[in-house]
């Protein structure tokens, strides 16, 4: 069992939790994730390590409530405990001196982008951060990004904050202004990562995305997280989750992400039904 020691609501349906998990906190690196089970009957859900504090033995996770497991976790309060946490998992981000680095975070993907921004800056890079959301009330970690990055640009779909555009348009605007990025990181909804990849492709800018296929074991054995990269089969949990964006088969990824929509809807209906009855 891993106890929740702090909780914050960042935006509608987006929550931050700090969880006691000393073994994970001691080994975590930017780009890695954990797989947790909310309760002992729960499914295994991957969540990115946003922050970690080895001295306190805690890790910070940020979740967007999209279905039964994340809704349940979102209802947990300080003092409640999740059944188990496995990690850190995945290959850490390749942090090295590149020069000018652009890190794009879309929606809850901004949570995964933050540790990369911090690590890239620590490695001596100049870091430009773009955070994007549908609207100002869905924008997260603005203050933290402002502090962590050298420059911050904000994009909202509806223009309620920053530039009224998508994340990929913001990248395009900066490229047209003359920013010469040595590497671009894009983390967020699959469509956002794909459009950023298409924006940087013509200029041949190295672009890395953090893929979010359905995962089960997180150990490279079940095959659930299979993705195609450069025509080769990769398992995102052990070969990734970060890959060369220009090599990823995004169409296949989107199809596989939607493979269990019927079951996910049923799980959500069951959870709502339980809530109405007040017991399982």
Ligand X SMILES: Cc1cc2nc3c(=O)[nH]c(=O)nc-3n(C[C@H](O)[C@H](O)[C@H](O)COP(=O)(O)OP(=O)(O)OC[C@H]3O[C@@H](n4cnc5c(N)ncnc54)[C@H](O)[C@@H]3O)c2cc1C
Cβ nearer to ligand X, comparing 126 with 226: 226
Neighbouring C-beta atoms of residue 253, cutoff 10 Å? 23
User: Coil, helix or strand for 162?
Assistant: coil
**Chain centre distance of CA 132:** 13
Cβ nearer to ligand X, comparing 44 with 121: 44
Q: Any contact of residue 48 with ligand X (CB under 6 A)?
A: yes
Q: Which of 68, 95, 175, 248 binds ligand X (CB under 6 A)?
A: 68
For residue 207, the surrounding DSSP H or E stretch is: strand 206-210
Which residue carries 């150990």 as its tokens? 219
Q: Any contact of residue 84 with ligand X (CB under 6 A)?
A: no
Quote the CA–CA distance of 39 and 17 in Å, as a whole number. Answer: 16
Binding part of the chain for ligand X, among 93-101, 119-127, 153-161, 211-219 by CB under 6 A, reads: 211-219
Q: Any contact of residue 250 with ligand X (CB under 6 A)?
A: no
Q: Which of 2, 24, 59, 67 binds ligand X (CB under 6 A)?
A: 67
Q: Any contact of residue 13 with ligand X (CB under 6 A)?
A: no
Q: Which of 28, 36, 111, 168 binds ligand X (CB under 6 A)?
A: 111
Interface ranges with ligand FES (CB under 6 A): 215-218, 220-225, 235, 237
Report the nearest approach of ligand FES to the CB of residue 182 (Å).
Answer: 30
- Cα 72–Cα 157–Cα 191 angle in degrees, nearest 5: 65
- Sheet (strand 84-89) strand order: 45-48, 33-37, 84-89
Q: Which of 4, 64, 170, 227 binds ligand X (CB under 6 A)?
A: 64
Candidates 120, 112, 86, 123; CA nearest to 31 is 112
Residue 187 interacting partner from ligand FES, ligand X, none (CB closer than 5 to 8 Å by kind): none
Helices (H) and strands (E) in the chain, counts: 9, 17
Q: Any contact of residue 38 with ligand X (CB under 6 A)?
A: no
Report the nearest approach of ligand FES to the CB of residue 71 (Å).
Answer: 22
Site residues for ligand X, window 128-157 (CB under 6 A)?
A: none
Cβ nearer to ligand X, comparing 48 with 207: 48
For the CA atoms of 162, 164, 168, 174, the dihedral, rounded to the nearest 10 degrees, stands at -60
Q: Any contact of residue 212 with ligand X (CB under 6 A)?
A: yes
Binding part of the chain for ligand X, among 104-112, 131-139, 141-149, 163-171 by CB under 6 A, reads: 104-112
Cβ nearer to ligand X, comparing 69 with 129: 69
Which residue carries 């052990």 as its tokens? 238
Across the strands, what pairs with 85? 36
Binding residues for ligand X, rule: CB under 6 A, are 33, 43-48, 62-64, 66-70, 108, 111-112, 212-215, 241, 257, 264, 268
């Amino acid at each position: 069992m891993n106890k929740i020691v702090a909780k914050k609501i960042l935006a509608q349906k987006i929550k931050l939790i700090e969880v006691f998990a000393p073994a994970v906190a001691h080994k975590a690196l930017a780009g890695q994730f954990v797989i947790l089970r909310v309760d002992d009957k729960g499914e295994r859900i991957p969540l990115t390590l946003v922050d970690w504090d080895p001295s306190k033995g805690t890790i910070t996770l940020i979740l967007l409530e999209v279905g039964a497991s994340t809704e349940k976790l979102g209802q947990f309060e300080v003092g409640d405990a999740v059944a188990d946490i496995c990690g850190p998992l995945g290959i850490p981000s390749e942090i090295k001196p590149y020069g000018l680095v652009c890190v794009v975070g879309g929606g809850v993907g901004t949570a995964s982008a933050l540790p990369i921004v911090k690590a890239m800056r620590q490695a001596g890079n100049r870091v430009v951060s773009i955070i994007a959301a549908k609207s100002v009330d869905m924008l997260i970690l603005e203050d933290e990004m402002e502090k962590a990055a050298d420059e911050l640009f904000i994009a909202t779909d509806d223009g309620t904050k920053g530039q009224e555009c998508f994340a990929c348009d913001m990248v395009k605007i900066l490229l047209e202004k003359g920013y010469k990025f040595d590497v671009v990181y894009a983390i967020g909804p699959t469509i956002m990562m794909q459009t950023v990849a298409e924006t940087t492709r013509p200029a041949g800018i190295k672009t890395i995305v953090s893929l979010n296929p359905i995962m089960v074991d997180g150990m490279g054995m079940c095959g659930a997280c299979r993705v195609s990269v450069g025509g080769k089969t990769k398992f995102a949990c052990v070969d990734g989750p970060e890959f060369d964006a220009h090599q990823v088969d995004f169409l296949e990824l989107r199809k596989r992400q939607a493979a269990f929509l019927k079951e996910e809807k049923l799980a959500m209906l069951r959870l709502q039904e339980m809530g109405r009855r007040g017991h399982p």
